[in-house]
Chains A and B, each alone.
Chain A
Amino acid sequence: MPDHWSFVAAAYGLTAAVLLIYWRRLATKEREVEASKRLNAERSREPSITGHPRSEPASRTPLQQNQRPGAPLP
Protein backbone atom coordinates (compact mmCIF):
# COMPACT_ATOMS: atom_id res chain seq x y z
CA MET A 1 0.00 0.00 0.00
CA PRO A 2 1.36 3.50 -0.79
CA ASP A 3 2.39 5.64 2.16
CA HIS A 4 0.00 8.60 1.66
CA TRP A 5 2.34 11.06 3.37
CA SER A 6 0.04 13.93 2.40
CA PHE A 7 -2.71 12.46 4.60
CA VAL A 8 -0.25 12.09 7.49
CA ALA A 9 0.84 15.70 7.05
CA ALA A 10 -2.79 16.86 6.88
CA ALA A 11 -3.72 15.04 10.12
CA TYR A 12 -0.71 16.30 12.10
CA GLY A 13 -0.85 19.77 10.54
CA LEU A 14 -4.56 20.22 11.31
CA THR A 15 -4.06 19.06 14.91
CA ALA A 16 -1.06 21.35 15.43
CA ALA A 17 -2.87 24.34 13.89
CA VAL A 18 -6.04 23.94 15.99
CA LEU A 19 -4.08 23.41 19.24
CA LEU A 20 -1.89 26.42 18.51
CA ILE A 21 -4.91 28.64 17.75
CA TYR A 22 -6.58 27.55 21.00
CA TRP A 23 -3.38 28.20 22.98
CA ARG A 24 -3.02 31.69 21.46
CA ARG A 25 -6.71 32.45 22.11
CA LEU A 26 -6.22 31.58 25.78
CA ALA A 27 -3.16 33.84 25.97
CA THR A 28 -5.00 36.74 24.29
CA LYS A 29 -8.01 36.44 26.62
CA GLU A 30 -5.70 36.28 29.66
CA ARG A 31 -4.04 39.53 28.55
CA GLU A 32 -7.45 41.17 28.00
CA VAL A 33 -8.67 40.21 31.48
CA GLU A 34 -5.42 41.45 33.06
CA ALA A 35 -5.73 44.78 31.22
CA SER A 36 -9.36 45.12 32.26
CA LYS A 37 -8.46 44.40 35.91
CA ARG A 38 -5.67 47.00 35.82
CA LEU A 39 -8.02 49.59 34.31
CA ASN A 40 -10.67 48.92 36.98
CA ALA A 41 -8.06 49.24 39.72
CA GLU A 42 -6.82 52.57 38.30
CA ARG A 43 -10.38 53.92 37.98
CA SER A 44 -11.18 53.03 41.57
CA ARG A 45 -8.03 54.90 42.72
CA GLU A 46 -8.51 58.16 40.75
CA PRO A 47 -10.53 60.93 42.53
CA SER A 48 -14.06 61.68 41.39
CA ILE A 49 -14.97 65.00 39.73
CA THR A 50 -16.62 66.20 42.96
CA GLY A 51 -13.32 65.90 44.79
CA HIS A 52 -14.51 63.10 47.02
CA PRO A 53 -12.52 59.84 46.97
CA ARG A 54 -14.29 57.06 45.07
CA SER A 55 -15.49 54.21 47.23
CA GLU A 56 -14.12 50.69 46.73
CA PRO A 57 -16.33 48.66 44.30
CA ALA A 58 -17.22 46.09 46.98
CA SER A 59 -18.46 48.79 49.40
CA ARG A 60 -20.69 50.59 46.86
CA THR A 61 -24.46 50.36 47.04
CA PRO A 62 -26.26 48.77 44.03
CA LEU A 63 -27.32 52.29 42.96
CA GLN A 64 -23.69 53.48 42.98
CA GLN A 65 -22.53 50.39 41.09
CA ASN A 66 -24.99 51.05 38.26
CA GLN A 67 -24.15 54.73 38.06
CA ARG A 68 -22.14 55.89 35.05
CA PRO A 69 -18.87 57.73 35.89
CA GLY A 70 -19.42 61.49 35.92
CA ALA A 71 -23.21 61.26 36.01
CA PRO A 72 -24.93 63.46 38.64
CA LEU A 73 -26.02 61.75 41.83
CA PRO A 74 -29.79 61.09 42.03
Chain B
Amino acid sequence: MVKTLGWLTAAALAAGLVMAFGVAPREVTQGNVQRIMYVHVPLILASYVAFVVLAVASLVYLVRRDPAADGVAHASGEVGVMFVGLGIATGSIWGKPTWGTWWTWDARLTSVAILFVMYLGYLLLRGTIDDPERAARYCAVLGIVAALDIPLVHFSVYWWRTLHQPPSLMKPGGFTGSSSILWPLLVNLLAFILLYVYFVARRARLLRAQAEAIA
Protein backbone atom coordinates (compact mmCIF):
# COMPACT_ATOMS: atom_id res chain seq x y z
CA MET B 1 0.00 0.00 0.00
CA VAL B 2 2.70 2.49 1.09
CA LYS B 3 4.96 1.28 -1.73
CA THR B 4 2.20 1.89 -4.30
CA LEU B 5 1.66 5.34 -2.82
CA GLY B 6 5.39 5.96 -3.16
CA TRP B 7 5.39 5.11 -6.86
CA LEU B 8 2.25 7.22 -7.39
CA THR B 9 3.96 10.14 -5.63
CA ALA B 10 7.11 9.74 -7.74
CA ALA B 11 5.00 9.78 -10.92
CA ALA B 12 3.08 12.86 -9.72
CA LEU B 13 6.32 14.70 -8.88
CA ALA B 14 7.75 13.85 -12.31
CA ALA B 15 4.51 15.10 -13.94
CA GLY B 16 4.77 18.26 -11.82
CA LEU B 17 8.32 18.90 -13.08
CA VAL B 18 7.22 18.40 -16.69
CA MET B 19 4.30 20.78 -16.17
CA ALA B 20 6.49 23.41 -14.42
CA PHE B 21 9.25 23.41 -17.05
CA GLY B 22 7.57 22.08 -20.20
CA VAL B 23 3.97 23.27 -20.11
CA ALA B 24 3.89 26.45 -17.99
CA PRO B 25 4.82 29.55 -20.00
CA ARG B 26 7.62 32.01 -19.23
CA GLU B 27 6.04 34.69 -17.04
CA VAL B 28 5.97 38.12 -18.75
CA THR B 29 7.26 40.37 -15.95
CA GLN B 30 9.43 38.03 -13.82
CA GLY B 31 10.76 35.74 -16.54
CA ASN B 32 11.66 32.10 -15.84
CA VAL B 33 12.47 32.73 -12.16
CA GLN B 34 8.68 32.67 -11.58
CA ARG B 35 8.86 28.87 -12.10
CA ILE B 36 9.97 28.69 -8.45
CA MET B 37 6.27 29.26 -7.66
CA TYR B 38 5.49 25.66 -8.75
CA VAL B 39 7.52 24.32 -5.84
CA HIS B 40 7.17 27.18 -3.33
CA VAL B 41 3.33 27.42 -3.24
CA PRO B 42 2.67 23.63 -3.06
CA LEU B 43 5.23 23.29 -0.23
CA ILE B 44 3.53 25.98 1.84
CA LEU B 45 -0.01 24.70 1.14
CA ALA B 46 1.03 21.10 1.95
CA SER B 47 2.54 22.35 5.23
CA TYR B 48 -0.85 23.96 6.09
CA VAL B 49 -2.42 20.53 5.49
CA ALA B 50 0.24 18.92 7.71
CA PHE B 51 -0.40 21.30 10.60
CA VAL B 52 -4.19 21.00 10.34
CA VAL B 53 -3.86 17.18 10.39
CA LEU B 54 -1.51 17.53 13.39
CA ALA B 55 -4.09 19.66 15.26
CA VAL B 56 -6.95 17.22 14.49
CA ALA B 57 -4.85 14.18 15.45
CA SER B 58 -3.79 15.96 18.67
CA LEU B 59 -7.43 16.63 19.54
CA VAL B 60 -8.27 12.97 18.87
CA TYR B 61 -5.36 11.96 21.13
CA LEU B 62 -6.53 14.19 23.99
CA VAL B 63 -10.07 12.77 23.76
CA ARG B 64 -9.32 9.06 23.20
CA ARG B 65 -5.67 8.71 24.36
CA ASP B 66 -5.02 6.70 21.21
CA PRO B 67 -1.24 6.28 20.57
CA ALA B 68 -1.95 5.92 16.82
CA ALA B 69 -3.35 9.49 16.76
CA ASP B 70 -0.23 10.71 18.55
CA GLY B 71 1.92 8.90 15.97
CA VAL B 72 0.10 10.65 13.11
CA ALA B 73 0.49 14.02 14.88
CA HIS B 74 4.22 13.43 15.44
CA ALA B 75 4.81 12.30 11.84
CA SER B 76 2.72 15.14 10.43
CA GLY B 77 4.62 17.70 12.51
CA GLU B 78 7.98 16.43 11.28
CA VAL B 79 6.97 16.50 7.61
CA GLY B 80 5.20 19.86 8.07
CA VAL B 81 8.32 21.46 9.58
CA MET B 82 10.40 20.17 6.66
CA PHE B 83 7.88 21.50 4.12
CA VAL B 84 7.47 24.94 5.70
CA GLY B 85 11.26 25.24 6.09
CA LEU B 86 11.68 24.44 2.40
CA GLY B 87 8.83 26.84 1.58
CA ILE B 88 10.64 29.66 3.42
CA ALA B 89 13.96 28.79 1.74
CA THR B 90 12.49 28.64 -1.79
CA GLY B 91 10.56 31.86 -1.13
CA SER B 92 13.78 33.54 -0.04
CA ILE B 93 15.55 32.32 -3.19
CA TRP B 94 12.65 33.66 -5.28
CA GLY B 95 12.64 36.95 -3.34
CA LYS B 96 16.25 37.88 -4.05
CA PRO B 97 15.94 38.42 -7.83
CA THR B 98 12.37 39.77 -7.70
CA TRP B 99 12.30 41.92 -4.52
CA GLY B 100 16.04 42.55 -4.32
CA THR B 101 16.35 40.98 -0.85
CA TRP B 102 16.58 37.49 0.65
CA TRP B 103 14.43 38.40 3.63
CA THR B 104 12.29 41.23 4.97
CA TRP B 105 10.32 41.40 8.24
CA ASP B 106 6.94 41.94 6.61
CA ALA B 107 3.75 40.41 8.05
CA ARG B 108 3.63 37.27 5.84
CA LEU B 109 7.29 36.38 6.21
CA THR B 110 7.34 37.09 9.94
CA SER B 111 4.15 35.09 10.63
CA VAL B 112 5.41 32.10 8.62
CA ALA B 113 8.77 32.28 10.44
CA ILE B 114 6.85 32.19 13.76
CA LEU B 115 4.89 29.17 12.45
CA PHE B 116 8.15 27.39 11.60
CA VAL B 117 9.71 28.14 15.00
CA MET B 118 6.57 27.02 16.88
CA TYR B 119 6.49 23.63 15.17
CA LEU B 120 10.24 23.27 15.53
CA GLY B 121 9.60 23.80 19.25
CA TYR B 122 6.90 21.13 19.05
CA LEU B 123 9.46 18.60 17.77
CA LEU B 124 12.04 19.70 20.35
CA LEU B 125 9.48 19.32 23.14
CA ARG B 126 8.89 15.72 22.05
CA GLY B 127 12.60 15.05 22.23
CA THR B 128 13.08 16.56 25.70
CA ILE B 129 10.37 14.62 27.61
CA ASP B 130 11.27 11.01 28.43
CA ASP B 131 7.79 9.79 29.40
CA PRO B 132 6.01 9.08 26.06
CA GLU B 133 2.52 9.63 27.51
CA ARG B 134 3.42 13.01 29.00
CA ALA B 135 5.26 14.07 25.80
CA ALA B 136 2.20 13.15 23.73
CA ARG B 137 -0.14 15.11 26.03
CA TYR B 138 1.99 18.29 26.16
CA CYS B 139 2.66 18.18 22.41
CA ALA B 140 -1.04 17.68 21.65
CA VAL B 141 -1.85 20.92 23.50
CA LEU B 142 0.99 22.79 21.75
CA GLY B 143 -0.05 21.37 18.36
CA ILE B 144 -3.59 22.69 18.77
CA VAL B 145 -2.45 26.14 19.99
CA ALA B 146 0.17 26.50 17.23
CA ALA B 147 -2.46 25.79 14.55
CA LEU B 148 -4.04 29.16 15.41
CA ASP B 149 -1.13 30.79 13.53
CA ILE B 150 -2.18 29.22 10.19
CA PRO B 151 -5.06 31.68 9.48
CA LEU B 152 -2.77 34.52 10.64
CA VAL B 153 -0.16 33.48 8.04
CA HIS B 154 -2.73 33.09 5.28
CA PHE B 155 -4.63 36.34 5.87
CA SER B 156 -1.60 38.47 6.83
CA VAL B 157 -1.34 39.70 3.24
CA TYR B 158 -4.87 41.15 3.53
CA TRP B 159 -4.66 42.45 7.10
CA TRP B 160 -1.32 44.30 6.75
CA ARG B 161 0.62 46.02 3.97
CA THR B 162 3.17 43.43 2.84
CA LEU B 163 5.81 42.98 0.18
CA HIS B 164 4.54 39.45 -0.37
CA GLN B 165 1.92 39.03 -3.08
CA PRO B 166 -1.65 37.92 -2.16
CA PRO B 167 -2.47 34.17 -2.32
CA SER B 168 -2.49 32.64 -5.82
CA LEU B 169 -5.01 29.83 -5.25
CA MET B 170 -6.86 30.16 -1.95
CA LYS B 171 -8.40 33.61 -2.36
CA PRO B 172 -11.92 35.03 -2.81
CA GLY B 173 -13.03 34.50 -6.41
CA GLY B 174 -10.49 31.72 -6.98
CA PHE B 175 -7.49 31.73 -9.32
CA THR B 176 -7.65 34.61 -11.80
CA GLY B 177 -4.53 33.85 -13.89
CA SER B 178 -4.13 31.83 -17.07
CA SER B 179 -5.05 28.12 -17.10
CA SER B 180 -1.55 27.42 -18.46
CA ILE B 181 -0.26 28.54 -15.05
CA LEU B 182 -3.13 27.09 -13.00
CA TRP B 183 -2.79 23.46 -14.19
CA PRO B 184 0.95 23.12 -13.51
CA LEU B 185 0.32 24.62 -10.08
CA LEU B 186 -2.52 22.17 -9.35
CA VAL B 187 -0.52 19.14 -10.54
CA ASN B 188 2.40 20.17 -8.32
CA LEU B 189 0.04 20.78 -5.40
CA LEU B 190 -1.39 17.27 -5.80
CA ALA B 191 2.14 15.84 -6.05
CA PHE B 192 3.27 17.52 -2.82
CA ILE B 193 0.12 16.48 -0.96
CA LEU B 194 0.73 12.88 -2.10
CA LEU B 195 4.34 13.23 -0.94
CA TYR B 196 3.12 14.49 2.43
CA VAL B 197 0.74 11.49 2.81
CA TYR B 198 3.51 9.08 1.75
CA PHE B 199 6.04 10.50 4.22
CA VAL B 200 3.51 10.58 7.07
CA ALA B 201 2.44 6.97 6.38
CA ARG B 202 6.05 5.78 6.47
CA ARG B 203 7.05 7.89 9.48
CA ALA B 204 3.97 6.84 11.51
CA ARG B 205 4.68 3.18 10.67
CA LEU B 206 8.30 3.64 11.77
CA LEU B 207 7.25 5.28 15.06
CA ARG B 208 4.92 2.32 15.72
CA ALA B 209 7.71 -0.17 14.97
CA GLN B 210 10.15 1.73 17.24
CA ALA B 211 7.60 1.69 20.08
CA GLU B 212 7.07 -2.07 19.61
CA ALA B 213 10.84 -2.69 19.59
CA ILE B 214 11.24 -0.84 22.90
CA ALA B 215 8.22 -2.55 24.57
Q: A22 to B213, Cβ gap below 8 A?
A: no
Interface residues on B, range: 20 to 34
Q: Is B97 an interface residue (CB 8 A)?
A: yes
Q: A15 to B31, Cβ gap below 8 A?
A: no
Q: Is A71 an interface residue (CB 8 A)?
A: no
Q: B209 to A14, Cβ gap below 8 A?
A: no
Q: Which residue on B lies nearest to A33, using beta carbons?
A: B209
Q: A33 to B93, Cβ gap below 8 A?
A: no
Q: B31 to A1, Cβ gap below 8 A?
A: yes
Determine which of B94, B97, B209 lies in contact with A30 in the assembled complex, contact meaning CB atoms within 8 Å.
B209
**Chain A nearest Cβ from B135, distance in angstroms:** 19
Residue total for A at the interface (Cβ-Cβ under 8 A): 24
Q: Is B32 an interface residue (CB 8 A)?
A: yes
Known: A14-B86, A14-B93, A36-B213. A8 touches B206 (CB 8 A): no
Question: In terms of DSSP, what is the predominant structure of the interface of chain A?
Answer: helix
Q: Is B178 an interface residue (CB 8 A)?
A: no
A residues near B40, Cβ cutoff 8 Å? 11
Q: Which residue on B lies nearest to A58, using beta carbons?
A: B215
B residues near A40, Cβ cutoff 8 Å? 213
Q: Which residue on B lies nearest to A36, using beta carbons?
A: B213
Determine which of A8, A29, A36 lies in contact with B36 in the assembled complex, contact meaning CB atoms within 8 Å.
A8
Q: Is B96 an interface residue (CB 8 A)?
A: yes
Q: Is B165 an interface residue (CB 8 A)?
A: no
**Chain A nearest Cβ from B96, distance in angstroms:** 7
Determine which of A11, A19, A23, A26 lies in contact with B206 in the assembled complex, contact meaning CB atoms within 8 Å.
A26
Q: A15 to B86, Cβ gap below 8 A?
A: yes
Q: A1 to B35, Cβ gap below 8 A?
A: no
Known: A1-B30, A14-B90, A40-B213. A7 touches B96 (CB 8 A): yes
Q: Which of A1-60 contact B (CB under 8 A)?
A: 1-5, 7-8, 10-12, 14-15, 18-19, 22-23, 26, 29-30, 33-34, 36-37, 40
Roughly how many angstroms separate A25 CA and B87 CA in the complex, as a whole number?
20
Q: Is B128 an interface residue (CB 8 A)?
A: no
B residues near A37, Cβ cutoff 8 Å? 209, 212-213
Interface residues of B (CB under 8 A from A): 26, 29-33, 35-36, 39-40, 43, 82, 85-86, 89-90, 93-94, 96-97, 195, 199, 202-203, 206, 209-210, 212-213
- Identify 7 new A-B residue pairs, CB closer than 8 A, beyond the known A8-B36, A14-B89, A23-B199: A2-B31, A3-B32, A5-B33, A11-B94, A15-B86, A18-B82, A40-B213
